[in-house]
Amino acid sequence: MKSTKILFASLLIFISLKSIAQKNSNSKLDNPLVTDRPDATEASSSVGKGVLQFETGSLYESFQTNNIKNESYTYNTMLIRYGLLDNLELRLGWDFVEGVTTVNGNKLDNVTSGLSPLLLGLKLDIAEENGAMPEIALIGHVFPVFSAGQDYRPETTGVDFRLSLSHTLNEKSSLGYNIGAQWSDDSSEAAAIYTLAYGYSISDKWGMYAEVYGDLPEDSSANHFWDAGFTYLASNDLQFDAYLGTSITDGQDLLVGMGLSYRIKPKK
What are the residue boundaries of the structural domains of the chain, listed by start?
2-264
The pLDDT value given to residue 2 = 46
**Are the CB atoms for 2 and 187 separated by under 8 Å?**
no
* C-alpha dihedral sign at 9, 15, 18, 23: negative
Q: Is 60 exceeded by the pLDDT of residue 3?
A: no
The pLDDT value given to residue 6 = 46
The pLDDT value given to residue 110 = 84
Task: Enter the pTM of the model.
Answer: 0.87
Residues 215-231 have a mean pLDDT of: 95
The mean of the pLDDT values for the chain is 90
Which CATH number applies to 2-264?
2.40.160.40
Residue-wise pLDDT for 163-197, tens only, equals 999 999 999 999 999 999 999 867 778 999 999 99
For residue 186, the surrounding DSSP H or E stretch is none
Higher-scoring residue by pLDDT: 232, 268: 232
* 242 Cβ contact list (under 8 Å, min separation 6): 38, 229, 230, 257, 258
- What are 1's strand-pairing partners? none
85: confidence class by pLDDT, cuts 50, 70, 90? very high
64: confidence class by pLDDT, cuts 50, 70, 90? very high
**Are the CB atoms for 256 and 62 separated by under 8 Å?**
no
Residues 244-262 have a mean pLDDT of: 97
**Are the CB atoms for 230 and 245 separated by under 8 Å?**
no
Could you give the C-alpha distances from 71 to 61, 180, 215, 240, in angstroms and in order?
6, 28, 21, 25
The pLDDT value given to residue 40 = 96
Residue-wise pLDDT for 230-250, tens only, equals 999 999 999 999 999 999 999
Q: Is 80 exceeded by the pLDDT of residue 214?
A: yes
Distance between CA 209 and CA 222 in Å, rounded?
A: 23
The pLDDT value given to residue 26 = 59
The pLDDT value given to residue 155 = 86
Could you count the other beta carbons within 10 Å of the beta carbon of residue 182?
A: 19
20: confidence class by pLDDT, cuts 50, 70, 90? very low
Of 234, 168, 160, 167, residue with least CA distance to 190: 160
**Which phi and psi (to 5°) does residue 232 adopt?**
-130, 120
**Are the CB atoms for 91 and 110 separated by under 8 Å?**
no
Of 193, 113, 114, residue with least CA distance to 158: 193
Distance between CA 216 and CA 191 in Å, rounded?
A: 5
Residues 34-54 have a mean pLDDT of: 97
Distance between CA 161 and CA 11 in Å, rounded?
A: 12
Q: Is 80 exceeded by the pLDDT of residue 1?
A: no
Higher-scoring residue by pLDDT: 25, 181: 181
The pLDDT value given to residue 13 = 46
The pLDDT value given to residue 34 = 96
Residue-wise pLDDT for 120-159, tens only, equals 999 999 999 999 999 999 999 999 999 999 888 888 899 9
Q: How far is C-alpha 246 from the geometric centre of its chain's CA atoms?
A: 17
